[in-house]
Amino acid sequence: MEETISKNFIEQIIEKDIEEGRYQKIVTRFPPEPNGYLHIGHAKSILLNYGLAEEYGGEFHFRFDDTNPAKEEKEYVQSIKADVEWLGADYKGHIYFASNYFDKMYECAEFLIKKGKAYVCDLTPDEIREYRGTLTEPGKNSPYRDRTPEENLQLFRDMRDGKFPDGSKVLRAKIDMTSGNMNMRDPILYRIARMEHHNTGNKWCIYPMYDFAHPLEDAFEGITHSICTLEFEDHRPLYEWVVNECEFENPPKQIEFAKLYLTNVVTGKRYIKKLVEDGIVDGWDDPRLVSLSALRRRGYTPEAIRKFMELVGVAKSHSSVDNAMLEYCIRDDLKLKRPRMAAILDPVKLVITNYPDEQIEYVDVPNNQENEEMGTRQVPFCKELYIEREDFKIERPKKYRRLYVGNEVRLMNAYFVTCTGYDADEDGNVTTVYCTYDPASRGGNSPDGRKVRGTIHWVAVPTAKQVEVRLYENIVDEEKGVYNEEDGSMNINPNSLTVIENAYVEPALSDFKPGDSFQFMRTGYFCIDTKDTTEDHMVFNRIVSLKSSYKPN
Ligand code: ATP
Ligand code: MG
């Protein structure tokens, strides 16, 4: 049988380029601006670029696009680096800072000036805008457009040497003021701005614009395929102009793909920042967010994120992916890998009246019923247990198979028990459930072929560990959607966090460390919070519930 794996459009371009000998080896890059934390959308770009380099035996470059001194912060450099490494995008030493290329960029600008392809312009920002024209009207030439290369060179050097005030002059590309593409109407290449840069300090008072800097960074590093998101499509002619006029051999080519959007999920930096500043979430790594640090803290694995990106694929037009698909991926990743443990989130006490008072016995429990290789563990069992409140009912609802007076159920991996009665307080809240057990059903096996229809989980009271559990829901009100149409604010779900202070877990959970994850039987996947867990207070984050609304084809 012939296997056909369909290649995405970027792979097709790359394969053609290799076939035609345009590039010997492909080089891709991820170029974040260090002005915020990375989110799930960036992970798409990272894994796409890294994956292509791996697939074609090329190189993957990790470059901080730090040419704009106004916006960058060192703190972000650290977090971005940690996220890229966590995702497993091994850049093999190819880590770069665009600001290290300022000298070379300056040389390129002089090169263009000498070629008559760039000029110093004295128009004010307002005049430049006015001269630029509109989408329907052509622009007109700046009166400074015909300065000679010699004059331009002198003026540009004077700009560099700090002889002019901020904003008084710019260097512009000499392209075409009548171009149908506004980006080609003599775009600005350099501006004067006395700002300190985190890397170069006060060495420069002129800084390159993004549309000039970015293609040069790519070209200097020998990038072959510069993959960016769709909003740069209109900038591609300028990208090509820059690398061609600067006369790079084998210049890189820009390819655009659609950004990743998740339905009802906040990804925009601006909005996340607002949630953090308004105290609605507890920092950039709040587990309800989709920054990579938040997903990591929530218990997502790099494998799940990679799987998700494979399912999403690469497209040329915008669409929004259902969040349930991301949840499916983490469930699928943890299912066979992580142990299944007992935790009682809403406890009620169960007393086995015919069980010896002081006795503790150990029952054998599989670590993962679906993966025998994970072995078994010994779990203490005794007369008093915690069970989930919803596993006992005073009045039996239709089809209910768990505990009610007179019914027999299986305590998972332990014994059959029959409910004999209960205590309740004045408000009718059940405080204790009473049962008798059948010693012959040890291991939860029927001694005589009789069947029980319900199985519930439990935790022995004397050895149980009291912990905090945090249940998360979408921070966005899914009924209303992310943004409020009227004022652009966000529709916040007031119930996105539920804190349970008195959950009980089996003692084996003490052996795990922050960041470890597992299934809590019957309730979902959880991980130990890395930020708020202390020696004597364990905090668990719900990664995802067990049920899914998404099915892969
Ligand atoms: P945002 O404003 O959403 O935080 P950005 O585009 O300002 O994102 P950059 O640091 O400039 O962030 O982005 C680095 C790289 O990540 C760019 O190549 C950009 O195209 C890519 N990227 C950003 N957001 C997404 C997304 N949602 N899907 C895919 N790629 C993305
Ligand atoms: Mg950006």
What is the CA(326)–ligand 2 centre distance, in A?
A: 24
Query: Bridge-partner residues for 385, per DSSP?
Result: 350, 460
Name the residue among 157, 168, 154 with its Cα closest to residue 121: 168
Is residue 552 situated within a structural domain? no
Q: For residues 171 and 156, is the Cβ–Cβ distance under 8 A?
A: yes
Q: Is the pLDDT of residue 550 over 80?
A: no
Q: Is the pLDDT of residue 446 over 90?
A: yes
Is residue 3 situated within a structural domain? no
Q: Is the pLDDT of residue 55 over 50?
A: yes
**DSSP character string of 235-275:** GHHHHHHHHHHTT-SS--EEEEEPPEEETT----HHHHHHH
Q: Is the pLDDT of residue 101 over 50?
A: yes
Measured in degrees and rounded to the nearest 5, phi and psi for residue 228 equal: -135, 180
What is the CA(99)–ligand 2 centre distance, in A?
A: 16
Measured from CB, residues less than 6 Å from any atom of ligand 1 are 31-33, 36, 41-42, 44-45, 228-229, 259-260, 267-269
User: What CATH number is associated with residue 205?
Assistant: 3.40.50.620
Name the residue among 358, 368, 540 with its Cα closest to residue 460: 358
- Exposed e or buried b per residue across 318-338, where buried means at least 16 C-beta atoms within 10 angstroms of its C-beta: eeebebebbbbbbbbbbeeeb
What is the pLDDT at residue 287? 97
Query: Are residues 414 and 285 part of one domain?
Result: no
Is residue 312 situated within a structural domain? no
3-class state of residue 152 by DSSP: helix
What is the pLDDT at residue 146? 98
Ligand 1 pocket test, candidate residues 42, 64, 79, 320, most atoms within 8 A of CB: 42
Q: Which ligand is nearest to the CA of 228?
A: 1
Query: Are residues 139 and 249 part of one domain?
Result: yes
Query: Are residues 193 and 127 part of one domain?
Result: yes
Name the residue among 446, 459, 504, 464 with its Cα closest to residue 363: 459
Query: Are residues 79 and 30 part of one domain?
Result: yes
Query: Are residues 238 and 134 part of one domain?
Result: yes
What is the CA(247)–ligand 1 centre distance, in A?
A: 29
CA distances from 311 to 90, 113, 308, 328, 329 (A): 22, 48, 5, 11, 9
Residue nearest to atom 25 of ligand 1 (CA): 41
Supply 125's token pair. Answer: 């920002």
Query: Are residues 285 and 396 part of one domain?
Result: no
Q: What protein residues have CB closer than 5 angstroms to ion ligand 2? A: 33
Give pLDDT tens digits for 259-316.
Answer: 999 998 988 888 888 899 999 999 999 999 999 999 999 999 999 999 999 999 998 9
Query: Are residues 198 and 243 part of one domain?
Result: yes
What is the CA(529)–ligand 2 centre distance, in A?
A: 30
Supply 373's token pair. Answer: 């290789």
Q: Is residue 29 within a helix (H) or strand (E), and if so which, with residue range?
A: strand 27-30
Please compute the mean of the pLDDT values over residues 23-29 and round it to a whole number.
96
Mean predicted lDDT score pLDDT of the chain: 95
Structural domain that includes position 275: 269-298+317-336+467-545
**DSSP character string of 384-408:** EEEEEGGGB-SSPPTT--SB-TT-E
Q: For residues 199 and 66, is the Cβ–Cβ distance under 8 A?
A: yes
What is the pLDDT at residue 3? 47
Is residue 551 situated within a structural domain? no
Confidence grade of residue 5 (pLDDT, cut at 50, 70, 90): low
Is residue 385 situated within a structural domain? yes
Number of H helices, E strands in the chain: 12, 27
Confidence grade of residue 461 (pLDDT, cut at 50, 70, 90): very high
Is residue 236 situated within a structural domain? yes
Is residue 435 situated within a structural domain? yes
Name the residue among 162, 249, 259 with its Cα closest to residue 204: 162
Ligand 1 pocket test, candidate residues 37, 45, 83, most atoms within 8 A of CB: 45
Q: Is the pLDDT of residue 2 over 50?
A: no
Give pLDDT tens digits for 478-496.
Answer: 888 888 888 878 899 999 9
What is the pLDDT at residue 73? 76
CA distance 275 to 492: 10
- Work out the percent of the chain whose per-residue pLDDT is above 90: 90
Query: Are residues 211 and 142 part of one domain?
Result: yes
Give pLDDT tens digits for 500-535.
Answer: 999 999 999 999 999 999 999 999 999 999 999 999
Supply 106's token pair. Answer: 């300056």
What is the CA(77)–ligand 1 centre distance, in A?
A: 15
Query: Are residues 357 and 330 part of one domain?
Result: no
End-to-end CA distance of the chain: 21
Query: Are residues 169 and 125 part of one domain?
Result: yes
Domain boundary residue, one of 257, 290, 309: 257
Q: How many domains does the chain have?
A: 3
User: What CATH number is associated with residue 409?
Assistant: 2.40.240.10
Domain boundary residue, one of 457, 475, 498: 457
What is the pLDDT at residue 486? 84
Is residue 264 situated within a structural domain? no
What stretches of 109-185 adopt beta strand conformation (E)?
A: 118-121, 170-173
What is the pLDDT at residue 228? 97
Name the residue among 41, 49, 62, 59 with its Cα closest to residue 10: 49
Angle, helices 210-220/102-114, rounded to nearest 10 degrees? 110
Query: Are residues 373 and 485 part of one domain?
Result: no
Query: Are residues 349 and 290 part of one domain?
Result: no
Pick 74 or 501 by higher pLDDT: 501
What is the pLDDT at residue 490? 87
Q: Is the pLDDT of residue 210 over 70?
A: yes
Confidence grade of residue 190 (pLDDT, cut at 50, 70, 90): very high
